[in-house]
Amino acid sequence: MKKRVAILGSTGSIGKQTLEVIKQHPDKFEVEVLTALNSAEDLIEQARGFQPDAVIIGNKEKYDLVKESLANDPVKVYAGSEAIAQIVQGENIDIVLTAMVGFSGLTPTINAIKSGKTIALANKETMVVAGEIVTELAHKHKVSILPVDSEHSAIFQCLVGEFQNPVEKIYLTASGGPFRGKSLDHMMTVTREEALNHPNWSMGNKITIDSASMMNKGLEAIEAKWLFGLKPEQIDIIVHPQSIIHSIVQFRDGSMKAQMGLPDMRLPIQYALTFPERAESNFERFNFLDYPQLTFEKLNEKIFRNVTMAYQAMEKGGSLPCVMNAANEVAVEMFLNGTIGFLQMSDVIEEAMDKVEYISHPTLDDYIILDKASRDFAYRYIKNL
Ligand code: MN
């Protein structure tokens, strides 16, 4: 039986690599749904290549282009975010890989869980914003949430066969990004280009900036809390510049298991899609002699304040991670378009966390309202700088 896959965000970096993996295993997978926000040309090309049941273009203005281009293919074409939220419930889908950017992943992920689909989670913001609701729903509907994020895939792989054994703590590894070891003075002047130049991973713009600012690691700590049911004090971050060890689990007897390999997102993607099986791959193999030294460093939280703020959000919980995430999405957007400087991103987030309303037990509607409130606050705050 082939697994029937829906890929939300198929034209992004993770989406494209997911299709590469699927292409290598035509006996295992069938592509049923592809969605993209704006990249109509890529979506059309993917639809022609994979012949899914349906494609959805998020931006409704591009519907005509996609529809006309696929007029001779047996592919249904829809548009808009409502269509994305709806299509994941289809009976023709077994597994939904969520690779869209940011808060937009929340509603479709929740709908997919409610209709019993396995989730391959590549949209960490969903867990950051509403981890409590998402994990409760997954439990209620007996749905597996399989991590695609490389660190979380590493933890998950270390836990296979250990599910009865309590975890003492985990270490999320961080490459340190392009600004590892740089001074605060240096950070005040960094450009968009420098921030987008990640040493080890090639990724989309949003996550690349999050990696440079270490917000990505903060988001990942919160993601780990919900995925693995951990307390904040059980989640540690260690800088490991070579990105060979993808993360580590420490058990109560002190034993540590690490998952390692060359940095290649196709591996965690493939593992999430084929779990519990490990499928063959032609990915480049690790050679110890190419890496005579694997090194580890402490994260500098004085410079990377985002990590401290993310832990505060994780500890206080409620709506605070949602507000932090929304302010960060705005801050990254405004950094990328040149409106604010690199370090100002943390100011925006800190102010939003301080000023936007706090709710201790938010509903899904509360999250939607507070996400908007935090974005509005962040735009206003930046405008008045
Ligand atoms: Mn990651």
Q: How far is the CA of 242 from the centre of ligand 1 (A)?
A: 14
Number of domains in the chain: 3
Indicate whether 11 and 143 sit together in one domain: yes
Instruction: Check residue 203 and give its pLDDT.
Output: 84
Helix (H/G/I), strand (E/B), else coil: 8: strand
Indicate whether 139 and 175 sit together in one domain: no
Amino acid code (one letter) for 173: T
Contact present, 153 and 268 (Cβ < 8 Å): yes
What does the alpha-carbon distance between residue 128 and residue 125 come to, in Å, rounded to a whole number?
Answer: 5
Indicate whether 304 and 335 sit together in one domain: no
Q: How far is the CA of 224 from the centre of ligand 1 (A)?
A: 11
Per the domain annotation, does 274 fall within a domain? no
Which residues constitute the domain of residue 248?
155-264+294-311
Last residue of a domain, one of 97, 119, 147: 147
Contact present, 370 and 356 (Cβ < 8 Å): yes
Indicate whether 214 and 339 sit together in one domain: no
Is the confidence at residue 192, as pLDDT, over 90?
yes
pLDDT tens readout for residues 131-185: 999 999 999 999 999 999 999 999 999 999 998 999 999 999 999 999 999 999 9
Is the confidence at residue 87, as pLDDT, over 90?
yes
Instruction: Check residue 72 and give its pLDDT.
Output: 97
Contact present, 356 and 378 (Cβ < 8 Å): no
What does the alpha-carbon distance between residue 42 and residue 210 come to, in Å, rounded to a whole number?
Answer: 25
Contact present, 119 and 96 (Cβ < 8 Å): yes
pLDDT tens readout for residues 285-317: 999 999 999 999 999 999 999 999 999 999 999
Q: Six-digit token pair at 43? A: 């979506």
Q: How far is the CA of 76 from the centre of ligand 1 (A)?
A: 33
pLDDT tens readout for residues 272-283: 999 999 999 999
Instruction: Check residue 204 and give its pLDDT.
Output: 87
Indicate whether 304 and 160 sit together in one domain: yes
Indicate whether 36 and 97 sit together in one domain: yes
Per the domain annotation, does 8 fall within a domain? yes
> For residue 5, what are the CA distances in angstroms to 31, 107, 316, 335, 347?
5, 18, 36, 35, 40
Indicate whether 340 and 357 sit together in one domain: yes
Instruction: Check residue 116 and give its pLDDT.
Output: 98
Per the domain annotation, does 229 fall within a domain? yes
pLDDT classification of 198: cutoffs 50, 70, 90 = confident
Contact present, 281 and 24 (Cβ < 8 Å): yes
Q: Beta strands 118-121 and 95-98: pairing type?
A: parallel
Q: How far is the CA of 153 from the centre of ligand 1 (A)?
A: 9
Q: How far is the CA of 125 from the centre of ligand 1 (A)?
A: 12
Indicate whether 176 and 302 sit together in one domain: yes
Per the domain annotation, does 269 fall within a domain? no
Q: Tell me, what CATH number does 357's domain have?
A: 1.10.1740.10
Q: How far is the CA of 151 from the centre of ligand 1 (A)?
A: 5
Contact present, 108 and 133 (Cβ < 8 Å): no
Residue 239's DSSP bridge partners are 174, 297
Last residue of a domain, one of 147, 164, 190: 147
Indicate whether 141 and 180 sit together in one domain: no
Indicate whether 63 and 135 sit together in one domain: yes
Indicate whether 307 and 321 sit together in one domain: no
Q: How far is the CA of 69 from the centre of ligand 1 (A)?
A: 35
What does the alpha-carbon distance between residue 94 and residue 88 come to, in Å, rounded to a whole number?
Answer: 9
Indicate the average pLDDT of the chain: 97
Q: How far is the CA of 152 from the centre of ligand 1 (A)?
A: 7
Per the domain annotation, does 56 fall within a domain? yes
Q: How far is the CA of 338 from the centre of ligand 1 (A)?
A: 25
Indicate whether 300 and 164 sit together in one domain: yes
Last residue of a domain, one of 147, 170, 199: 147
Q: How far is the CA of 53 from the centre of ligand 1 (A)?
A: 31
Q: How far is the CA of 260 from the centre of ligand 1 (A)?
A: 14
Q: For 327-345, what is the mean pLDDT?
A: 97
Q: How far is the CA of 150 from the centre of ligand 1 (A)?
A: 5
Q: Tell me, what CATH number does 33's domain have?
A: 3.40.50.720
Amino acid code (one letter) for 133: I
